[in-house]
Amino acid sequence: MTVPEKPVLEGLEAKWTARWEADGTYRFDRSRPRDEVYAIDTPPPTVSGSLHVGHVFSYTHTDVIARFQRMRGMAVFYPMGWDDNGLPTERRVQNYYGVRCDPSLPYDHAFEPPDKPGKQPISVSRPNFIELCVRLTVEDEKVFEHLWRYLGLSIDWSMTYATIAKPAQRISQLMFLRLLQRNLAYQVEAPTLWDVDFKTAVAQAELEDREQPGAYHRLQFHKPGGGTVEIETTRPELLPACVALVAHPDDERYKPLFGTDVVTPIFGARVPVKAHPLADPEKGSGIAMICTFGDVTDVVWWRELKLPVRAIIQPNGTLGAVPWGAPGWESIDAPRAQVAYDQLAGLSAKKAQTAIAELLKQSGDLRGDTRPITHNVKFYEKGDRPLEIVTSRQWFIKTLDFREQLLERGRELQWHPSYMRGRYESWVNGLNGDWCISRQRFFGVPFPVWYPLRADGSIDYEHQLYPDESRLPIDPSTDLPDGYSAAQRGQPNGFIGDPDIMDTWATSSVSPQIVTGWERDPALFARTFPMDLRPQAHDIIRTWLFSTVLRSHLENQSLPWKHAAISGWVLDPDRKKMSKSKGNVVTPLANLEEYGSDGVRYWAARGGPGVDTAFDVGQMKVGRRLAMKVLNASKFALTGGVAAGNVTHPLDRSMLLQLAALVDDATESLNEYEYTRVLDRTEAFFWSFCDNYLELVKSRRYGDMGEAGAASANRALQASLSVLLRLFAPYLPFVTEEVWSWSHDGSIHGAPWPSSAELAGIAGIAGTDTTSAGCLAAAIDVLGEVRRTKSEAKRPLKAMISRAVVRDTPERLAQLEGARADVAAAANIHALLFEPADAFAVSVEFAEVEAVTADPPA
């Protein structure tokens, strides 16, 4: 037993992180059977800058659960991943090194980036670019790891993965090829959501609505026999791409027009008038123009009404050239159409809108003034301009066919909090297409596919070439398909690699397979899959959670994990979500250093599952104070005398009974992921323990009332402290470890979770001990009354009471009897008398001379 004279919190993080690493405290024991393993599918944070306090918040929640499970005897499988795929990394690398990726370039083994980025970006091959991404992210990952260790996450740091590293690439490609074999992945040329700045396809899950100013333009179409039909549109620049008008089948106003043609203004294209139930008679004039493609509704109409394509928006967002009069672009006045259109070609959609409005005004086809509105427009979540819909060749994973099965998986999964399932269900119910997983970017997992080139050099998409699984991972831009030589790349009768990469969610959605050793380490896989827990925030339910469920459903015919613990967001004091883009992010390391990791973890752990929580340094201060209190109370509890034998004193037994009830409640709650409640209850108990029990027992444990009473007190103090430390250990890993080390050799984080049975054994207590049960509560009531009286009399707390009378029911007085001497000593009462009465009351008489010490009552 070595208790420091003056225990401090400073330096505990450095001391214990080093010790845990040296001792392998959190090393996963892979020899344990599946039912003794608790496996966590850690979210790999995006490595493109710095961690913020939101990460600290949610990762702490996971760590509390991990530590609880470990103490319950589970082998905790708790790896850490880094998500270095994707656009954020790509942009960062471009700026950091001053390079640009050109996938057509060959790999340069000797390439070194300049010390400082030049003005003109240097073009590099995709493998070179990826090397630079890896080089930069390795540095970022070191910073992240340092912060995680400092925070005290009980991760097994021998098990880290990066989503761009070869093992993860291999799994991504392997799972993709397996889907291809089963026709669950496919390639098709079709209208796709498209970001015109990034020039890539994006998925439905990456959409967000943004309120934008817009304007209704009322345009007139001409009936061949004379007369006009008026439509309203917010996108008049798509008029050249108009392929039909559409109204509701029951709309009497337009019924006569169904089956007839009308002519577009200015461009003179004949387009049919169609009926479709999606057309809303209430909207605009009740009849709409269908363009290829203005929005997703256009795609639905185009597909269901079997309309032709007139595409004008190019991948870069400008209007492309159109040969009016040529097949597909027929016009009743092609020269006029051409003259008008040539004024639009090359303009961005936004500028084209202004230009065409002017043309329509001149021709008289713009009816009335435009009506400004604000409406929701779909954006790529990382994009700056509205999405367009562009026809392109993309890879998809089938999802629509599995909607019902995915809903069933959602019901099978245990959600914490349970209402988060609703988010998942509404997303699955709202799916409107298969999942587009190809991106026209560079930094990510490439598709392991090549295409033969025909004699004329055109690409033969029908006869795709795949690598043998044993070769994975491959990069088709540098690796060769079997039977071809490097010289044949890009040549007629040769081959070409698929230029695209997988969406970042397509690779992170296989995180369970990556970490559990699917198709790599069968013994590990058998012990860890399906995993136990997916912790994540609620904003990525539709992306990461959904896609992970989908992939495991398709590949493993199971859920990837049993539980999903959904954490909330950290809000700034104005109740806004903290995020980098809003510039209100707090860098967490400074908080960790100021309040201690335990203090910050305390704040984080008070945010319950799914609950958005305000950033609050006040709570961190409270957490730090609690840690300090643990140090000092422990010092007191451990520096007593002999602690032999059983706990015999009623007050001690009473305290231990209450503690036993707390332990049962804590165990049950933590099993249900209710970590907030457990911290709350444990803290409340601990504070009362310090303020009341320690004060009550102080005199006796110093031996003022004999050896037996002291031994009981000391035994109770040690037992209760041991239990309290272990209850706090998941939350305050540093201070509890420090205190534990004063009297133990091993780590508290490997100690068994406390049980009420353990306490019963020490104290010889049982639930039927009703007299002891109420003893502590009764003693606290009396102590409180005396304290209040002294405070109101503005006397010192040590002021002596010559005579105090407690009036209470006989039952309560019987309970109090056991603590009579303790109460008298703690309150400094010379003569403590009991009188039976109906209601509780305490009357006191102050002693004339305050220096007199109390005689120990007989």
**Among the listed residues 98, 167, 272, 784, the single contact to RNA using CB under 7 A:** 784
**406: contact with RNA by CB under 7 A:** no
Question: For residue 244, which of 189, 311, 312, 298 has the smallest C-alpha distance?
Answer: 298
Nearest approach, Cβ of residue 542 and RNA (Å): 4
Nearest approach, Cβ of residue 674 and RNA (Å): 8
Q: In degrees rounded to 5, what are phi and psi of residue 220?
A: -105, 130
The footprint of RNA on residues 491-550 (CB under 7 A) is: 538-539, 542
Nearer to RNA, 108 or 381 (CB): 381
Q: In degrees rounded to 5, what are phi and psi of residue 245?
A: -110, 155
Q: Which helix (H) or strand (E) holds 371?
A: strand 371-380
Nearest approach, Cβ of residue 326 and RNA (Å): 26
Tokens 């209430």 identify what position? 282
Nearest approach, Cβ of residue 518 and RNA (Å): 28
Nearer to RNA, 103 or 265 (CB): 265
Nearest approach, Cβ of residue 419 and RNA (Å): 4
Nearest approach, Cβ of residue 416 and RNA (Å): 13
Q: Which two tokens stand for residue 105?
A: 């370039």
Q: Which helix (H) or strand (E) holds 802?
A: strand 801-808
The footprint of RNA on residues 705-764 (CB under 7 A) is: none
**Among the listed residues 18, 278, 459, 852, the single contact to RNA using CB under 7 A:** 278
Nearer to RNA, 97 or 380 (CB): 380
Characterise 624 by phi-psi region: left (phi > 0), alpha (psi -120 to 50), beta (else). Answer: alpha
Q: Are strands 207-222 and 228-233 parallel, antiparallel or unpaired?
A: antiparallel
Q: In degrees rounded to 5, what are phi and psi of residue 28?
A: -75, 130
Nearest approach, Cβ of residue 459 and RNA (Å): 32
The footprint of RNA on residues 210-269 (CB under 7 A) is: 216, 231-235, 246
Site string for RNA, 606-625 (x = CB under 7 A): x-x--xxxx-x-xx--x-xx
Q: Which two tokens stand for residue 813?
A: 């007085």
Nearest approach, Cβ of residue 539 and RNA (Å): 6
Contact (Cβ atoms closer than 8 angstroms) between residue 640 and residue 710: yes
Nearest approach, Cβ of residue 94 and RNA (Å): 29
**427: contact with RNA by CB under 7 A:** yes
**698: contact with RNA by CB under 7 A:** yes
Nearer to RNA, 359 or 630 (CB): 630
Site string for RNA, 176-205 (x = CB under 7 A): ----------------------------x-
Instruction: Please identify, among the stretches 506-514, 529-537, 694-702, 707-715, the one whose residues bind RNA according to the rule CB under 7 A.
Output: 694-702
Q: Which two tokens stand for residue 353?
A: 């809108």
Contact (Cβ atoms closer than 8 angstroms) between residue 98 and residue 55: no
Nearest approach, Cβ of residue 386 and RNA (Å): 10
Buried b (16+ CB within 10 A) or exposed e, 830-839: bebebeeeee
The footprint of RNA on residues 377-396 (CB under 7 A) is: 377-378
Bridge partners of 263, per DSSP, are 222, 270
Nearest approach, Cβ of residue 164 and RNA (Å): 26
Nearer to RNA, 187 or 676 (CB): 676
Q: Which two tokens stand for residue 818?
A: 């056991």
Nearest approach, Cβ of residue 787 and RNA (Å): 4
**42: contact with RNA by CB under 7 A:** no
Nearer to RNA, 38 or 424 (CB): 424
Nearest approach, Cβ of residue 727 and RNA (Å): 16
SS (H, E, C) 245-261: EEECCCCCCCHHHCCCE
Instruction: Please identify, among the stretches 180-188, 191-199, 635-643, 734-742, the one whose residues bind RNA according to the rule CB under 7 A.
Output: 635-643
**Residues 6+ away with beta carbon under 8 Å from 690:** 629, 633
Nearer to RNA, 321 or 642 (CB): 642
Tokens 């909607």 identify what position? 403
**209: contact with RNA by CB under 7 A:** yes
Contact (Cβ atoms closer than 8 angstroms) between residue 397 and residue 435: yes
CA distance 568 to 547: 20
**Among the listed residues 95, 426, 587, 809, the single contact to RNA using CB under 7 A:** 426
Nearest approach, Cβ of residue 214 and RNA (Å): 8
Distances (CA, A) of 389 to 108, 131, 195, 204, 816: 36, 33, 8, 12, 79
Instruction: Please identify, among the stretches 302-310, 455-463, 780-788, 815-823, the one whose residues bind RNA according to the rule CB under 7 A.
Output: 780-788
Q: What is the DSSP string of 175-233?
A: HHHHHHHTTSEEEEEEEEEEETTTTEE--GGGEEEEEEEEEEEEEEEE-TTS-EEEEEE
Q: Which amino acid is at 339?
A: V
**119: contact with RNA by CB under 7 A:** no
Nearer to RNA, 495 or 685 (CB): 685
Nearest approach, Cβ of residue 616 and RNA (Å): 5
**Among the listed residues 181, 376, 485, 671, the single contact to RNA using CB under 7 A:** 376
**403: contact with RNA by CB under 7 A:** no
Tokens 């883009």 identify what position? 581
The footprint of RNA on residues 793-812 (CB under 7 A) is: 794-798
CA distance 639 to 731: 25
Cis status, amide bond into 650, omega within 30 of 0: no
Bridge partners of 801, per DSSP, are 829, 846
Nearest approach, Cβ of residue 232 and RNA (Å): 6
**Eight-class DSSP state of 462:** T
**572: contact with RNA by CB under 7 A:** no
The footprint of RNA on residues 653-692 (CB under 7 A) is: 677, 680, 684, 687, 690-691
Question: For residue 777, which of 805, 818, 716 has the smallest C-alpha distance?
Answer: 818
**300: contact with RNA by CB under 7 A:** yes
**695: contact with RNA by CB under 7 A:** yes
Q: Sign of torsion, CA 420 422 427 428?
A: positive
Please count the residues of this chain forming the interface with RNA, following the rule CB under 7 A. 83
CA distance 9 to 507: 42
**431: contact with RNA by CB under 7 A:** yes
**Among the listed residues 149, 439, 534, 790, the single contact to RNA using CB under 7 A:** 790
**704: contact with RNA by CB under 7 A:** no
Nearer to RNA, 83 or 232 (CB): 232
Nearest approach, Cβ of residue 427 and RNA (Å): 5
Instruction: Please identify, among the stretches 91-99, 318-326, 489-497, 792-800, the one whose residues bind RNA according to the rule CB under 7 A.
Output: 792-800
Nearer to RNA, 27 or 577 (CB): 577
**791: contact with RNA by CB under 7 A:** yes
Nearer to RNA, 218 or 527 (CB): 218
The footprint of RNA on residues 51-90 (CB under 7 A) is: none
**Residues 6+ away with beta carbon under 8 Å from 397:** 179, 184, 185, 434, 435, 437, 506, 550, 554
Instruction: Please identify, among the stretches 46-54, 370-378, 439-447, 805-813, the one whose residues bind RNA according to the rule CB under 7 A.
Output: 370-378
**551: contact with RNA by CB under 7 A:** no
Instruction: Please identify, among the stretches 106-114, 328-336, 741-749, 781-789, the one whose residues bind RNA according to the rule CB under 7 A.
Output: 781-789
Distances (CA, A) of 64 to 51, 57, 61: 19, 11, 5
Nearer to RNA, 559 or 721 (CB): 721
Length of the chain: 858
Neighbours of 106 (CB within 10 A): 12
Nearer to RNA, 597 or 613 (CB): 613
CA distance 173 to 319: 36
